[in-house]
Amino acid sequence: MTALPRPGPAPGVSPGAGPGAPRPAPPAELTAEEAESQAVAPNRAVDAAVQAMVNAAGLPLAEQIAQYEAAYETLRETLASIDQS
């Protein structure tokens, strides 16, 4: 019995990577003044959540999951508070 071909790109080929595929535009260069005006004030809760995810890499899997869930909750609450402002 022969297998039917699977839809989608061939295994090992990323979609849209053909020779005529569109490529994303390079990031625009910002002047120092533009970069400063777009700078965002740091958020301690977000910084702590990101650091917890970085630190979780060396933990056992069960503890990693707990760290990721806690970080997710912190980020969700932070985004919700921004939406309410």
**Over the chain, what HEC string results?**
CCCCCCCCCCCCCCCCCCCCCCCCCCCCCCCHHHHHHHCCCCCHHHHHHHHHHHHHCCCCHHHHHHHHHHHHHHHHHHHHHHHHC
Segments of the chain scoring below 50 in pLDDT: none
Q: Which two tokens stand for residue 18?
A: 């053909």
With beta carbons less than 8 A apart as the criterion, state whether 47 and 76 touch: no
In this prediction, residue 75 carries a pLDDT of: 92
Tokens of 55: 């630190």
pLDDT at 41: 72
Model pLDDT, residue 17: 53
